[in-house]
A and B are shown apart, each in its own frame.
Chain A
Amino acid sequence: MKPLVFLLFFQTFNLLAQRSNTHVLPKKYSLSSSLQNEDIFISLGAYYNLRKSFSFELRYGVGVRRTFFQQTLFSKVDAVFCYNLFKFDLWSFGPSVQCSTLSLAPKLFKPIQRYYVAEVGYSFAFGKKIKGVQSSFIGYRTTEFTSVKHLYSYIGYVFQLGLRYGL
């Protein structure tokens, strides 16, 4: 049942993107690598220009150490809001807010550890059709084990480098 829900999620997202060419279709796709407390992540994302100088990016990534070197899925989903304080043809810069959830799951859909992240930072983008993006965040994190109902809080960081490709 759970794999079916997962596939439906992708299908729904896909249909939404195709139907709404005029205003919902992501203007850009992104590929990024981020160094953070828990692992080094590689992420794919969709970038949307919202009203005025606001933008939104949704990313899905996997931790390199755990996923590729230890064959244990360590995934994360990021939602990033950015206000482009300085926005020019060639570059933009502005404060950002990032919310993420990370999940370490040795067995599919049975995570043993989850993380919840809320951070503030900045994003800097440079380029025309293909933009280089650098962003950094610092903020509050909590983690919990599925079998132990107690949250552990700490301060964490993210340093991120990526590329954004405009269609």
Chain B
Amino acid sequence: MVYKLFILLFLLIVSCGKKPKLPILVIGHGGNGLNFPGSIYHDNSNEAMDLALSTPNVDGVELDLRMAADGTLWLYHDEQLGTETKSSGCVGAKNSNQLLAIRYKSFNKEKLAKLDQIEVFLEGEKLLFLDIKHSNSCQNNSEDVNQYLASLSDWKVKVNNPDKRVFVVLNNRDWIEPFIFSGWNVLFSSDENDLRDKLMADFTEIRGFVCKNKLCTKKQVDDLKNKGKGIYLYEVRSPKALKELREKNPTGVMSDDLQGAIVEFK
């Protein structure tokens, strides 16, 4: 009986149809996925980036950047270090030596990653989306945009083909102009359609937008693509959300379930 069940299950699985491929870019959110139980490594760690960029059919990774007190750039998502590590305070209030010693509270205890130490970013052709975190809540202010740009420029010169591969994701309107002026490919993170329209009018060089999957409709996606702008959707974890994306057909998906997105679209 059990063997018949095995064979029945086997036949059921092999009879499933193959879905057509879609031209949606698959981007690893935070590397190998953010706040997703199936992620092997902690988001924004060196290990997560290495695994994501080695995964066949992945087009790139999104990473969260914060600037330390000494101007170095680190990959870290949250405002406070205490949420994901045993340390406390903000990245912006620490220097490199202090940050080097910090590890995540995850199973694998990954170290905090420094941008210029991630070698896998420098070579290859896969896309890099740098989510620029500008706020420093420990000092109740925003980081200095010129210092940020100087640190990023030092890193950019080491990267292979940065003009085609590297995009910055901003969420501070005041930072758009200096980044565009410095020659960066700028995307803006916004869930508001009116704001996106206004930004497109004010900054024609803006390359596209990043939006939460739930808050961006198919019509909005189509409108942006018709205007020649890229649209990347994030907060995509469940198989249901991945199937919805087939209908929306955005430029790219910043997926937390990276393996699921590859299976769905590639």
Interchain CB contact under 8 A, A155 and B3: no
**Contact digits for A115-155, partner B, Cβ 8 Å, 1 yes 0 no:** 00000000000000000000000000001010110101011
Does residue A22 face the partner (Cβ distance < 8 Å to B)? no
Q: Which of A44, A62, A72, A143 contacts B40 (CB 8 A)?
A: A143
CB < 8 Å: which of B37, B240, B259 contacts A113?
B259
B56–A112 CB distance below 8 A: yes
Alpha-carbon separation in the docked complex, A60 to B6 (Å): 8
Interface size class of A (residues with CB under 8 A): 35 or more
Question: Inside 8 A of B10's CB, which chain A residues have their CB?
Answer: 6
Cβ–Cβ contact A70 & B264, under 8 A? yes
A5 within 8 A of B: no
Q: Does A66 reach chain B (CB closer than 8 Å)?
A: yes
Interface pair B40/A152, CB less than 8 Å apart? yes
Tell whether, in the assembled complex, residue A65 and residue B239 are in contact, meaning their CB atoms are under 8 Å apart: yes
Interface string of A3-16 (1 = CB under 8 A from B): 00010001001100
Closest Cβ–Cβ distance, residue B12 to chain A (whole Å): 9
Q: Is A94 an interface residue (CB 8 A)?
A: no
A154 touches B41 (CB 8 A): yes
In-complex Cβ contact of A67 among B13, B108, B240 (8 A): B13
Shortest Cβ distance from A163 into chain B, in angstroms? 13
B255 to nearest A CB, angstroms? 13
Task: Give bound CA distance, A14 to B51, whole Å.
Answer: 40
Of residues 1 to 55 in B, which have CB atoms within 8 Å of A's CB atoms? 2-3, 5-7, 9-10, 13-14, 16-19, 37-38, 40-41, 47, 50-51, 54-55
Contact of B263 among A46, A106, A154 (CB under 8 A): A106
Q: Which residues of B contact A62 (CB under 8 A)?
A: 9, 13
**Which listed residue (B13, B17, B37, B56) contacts A73, Cβ 8 A?**
B13
Q: Is the interface of B mostly helix, strand, loop or mixed?
A: helix
B residues in contact with A108, CB < 8 Å: 14
- A155–B16 alpha-carbon span in the complex (Å): 32
Contacts of B3 in A (CB 8 A): 10, 13-14
Q: Is there an interface contact between A71 and B17, defined as CB atoms closer than 8 Å? A: yes
Which residues of B have CB within 8 Å of A157? Answer: 107
Q: Which residue of B lies closest to A75 (CB)?
A: B13
B2 touches A154 (CB 8 A): no
- CB distance A44 to B263 under 8 Å? no
Q: Is B260 an interface residue (CB 8 A)?
A: yes
Tell me if B7 and A154 are in contact (CB < 8 A): no
A162 within 8 A of B: no
Residue on B nearest A146 in the bound complex, by CB: B56
* B2 close to A44 (CB less than 8 A): yes
Q: Is A82 part of the binding interface, using a Cβ–Cβ cutoff of 8 Å? A: no
Alpha-carbon distance A112/B57, docked complex (angstroms): 10
B-chain residues with CB within 8 Å of residue A65 when the two chains form the complex: 239, 260
19 of the cross-chain contacts (CB-CB < 8 Å) are A6-B10, A10-B6, A29-B2, A37-B37, A37-B40, A38-B38, A44-B6, A62-B13, A70-B242, A71-B17, A72-B16, A73-B14, A107-B18, A113-B259, A145-B56, A148-B55, A152-B40, A152-B51, A154-B108
Chain A positions near chain B (C-beta within 8 angstroms): 6, 10, 13-14, 29, 37-39, 44, 46, 60, 62, 65-67, 69-73, 104, 106-108, 112-113, 143, 145, 147-148, 150, 152, 154-157
| Interface pairs A-B: 4 shortest CB-CB | A69-B239, A71-B16, A155-B107, A72-B263
